[in-house]
Amino acid sequence: MIIVLIHWRIKPEQEHIDAFLEFWRTKATVEDRTGLVGEFLSETMTPKDFPYITWHMDPDTLGDHKSFVNAGIWADEEAFHEQIGKNFNDDKPMLPFEKYRRRRIVLRPNSQRIGMAKLPSVDSAGVK
Please report whether residue 32 resides in a domain. Answer: yes
Which residues lie closer than 8 Å to 24 by C-beta, 6 or more apart? 8, 41, 68, 70
The total number of structural domains in the chain stands at 1
Please report whether residue 117 resides in a domain. Answer: no
Question: Along the 128 residues of the chain, how does pLDDT read in single tens digits?
Answer: 999 999 999 999 999 999 999 999 999 999 999 999 999 999 988 888 888 988 878 666 667 899 999 999 999 999 999 999 999 999 999 999 999 999 999 999 999 999 999 999 999 999 99
Please report whether residue 122 resides in a domain. Answer: no
Residue range(s) defining the domain that contains residue 13: 2-107
CATH number of the domain that residue 103 is part of = 3.30.70.100
